[in-house]
Amino acid sequence: MLEHGGRLRRAARDYGIPLADWLDLSTGINPEMYPVPAIDPLGWQRLPEDDDGLDAAAAAYYGSDRLLALPGSQAAVQALPLLFAPMAVACVSPLYEEHPLAWENAGHKLRCLPSLSRALSATTPAVLVCNPNNPTAERVSRDVLLETAECLRRRGGWLIVDEAFGDAEPENTVAALAGSEAAPNLIVLRSLGKFFGLAGARVGFIFAAPDKLDRLRATIGPWSIAHPSRLVARLALQDTAWQIAARERLAAASRRLAQMLTPLGAARRTALFCSVGGGNPPLSAGTVAALAEHFTRRGILVRRFDSRGLLRFGLPGDATGWRRLDAAIAEWQAP
């Protein structure tokens, strides 16, 4: 099993700090989650139904009805490689590590390359990219992604784009074109866990050509998303006012976080997390370990990527959290 952020209980045990005393910055989840309403008790008793309005709300929000609702985009990460015969897949690396693991487990040959241009020039049948990228916070423009999809289409290939962190900048996303006549070979993954802060609901979507969606639907089976999760997801996708306000809050918070992290090194940011290191040169392995230990001993959990020379910081959720992070950075700087 791969390591992921959010392992707060283990950190509490290992460091002897009570669970309630931690500031968890190890995930890229919006700390100001969508306000979940009271759930009708019948939602826990009845099986979920596909015609409950979730697909329509998602089609309106994402701009496409070529979609399949999933129990988290992780379900697509796991199942998508099974829809293809074994082939070579170029991954723009580093990226969310569950992707290459799933493709390798399905018998595909992986090539991990440092840029989209290198991945495209590798002439593999498929290219996989996270945009914005997790964990580096790098972005590829919408136009470049669509040009890449067209290049791959001309040679019979596929472009798979994970847009789990894309909601905060919808103008740079390509989900609306996935599986369309203009981009039939484009496959896009989306998630409600990050921007909406609903990781526990386990709701995501895949956008693709109908034949791929039909095969994936048959693989996943019926009732894959719980009734209460479907209800909350539909409401979140329809709440335009909340979405606009959230984008403004997150943009301001990520700018503040990037500025705060400057004493640790240059920080690249998305709306939901900032990454320090990982560039040229990356942070040394010793610095990554020392920084992670420094914050952890102060009850601040961050995400470390030792092999990439990188630390990732999520957003504090309140004034107390911001003060704690600021104080910990000041202590690191102190002689």
| Residue 136 burial (CB count, 10 A) | 22
CA–CA distance, 100 with 124 (Å, rounded to integer) = 14
Mean pLDDT, the chain cut into blocks of 10 residues (335 residues total): 70 92 95 94 91 97 98 95 96 93 96 94 95 94 97 97 97 98 98 97 97 94 94 98 98 97 92 87 87 96 90 97 97 85
Taking each helix axis from N to C end, the angle separating 227-238 and 54-62, rounded to the nearest 10 degrees, works out to: 30
Half-sphere exposure of 326 (CA within 13 A, CB side): 10
CA–CA distance, 32 with 319 (Å, rounded to integer) = 12
Distance of CA 217 to the CA centre of its chain: 22
CA–CA distance, 232 with 44 (Å, rounded to integer) = 13
Per-residue exposure over 137-150, b if at least 16 CB sit within 10 Å of its own CB, e if not = bbbbeeeebbebbe
Contacts of 252 (CB under 8 A, 6+ apart): none
Residues in the chain: 335
Residues 80/259, Cβ–Cβ less than 8 Å: no
pLDDT given for residue 36 in this prediction: 95
Prediction pTM value: 0.94
**What Cα–Cα distance (Å) separates residue 229 from each residue in 47, 48, 62, 160?**
12, 9, 18, 26
CA–CA distance, 75 with 205 (Å, rounded to integer) = 9
Domains, the chain, in order of start with CATH, read 8-25+241-333 (3.90.1150.10), 47-238 (3.40.640.10)
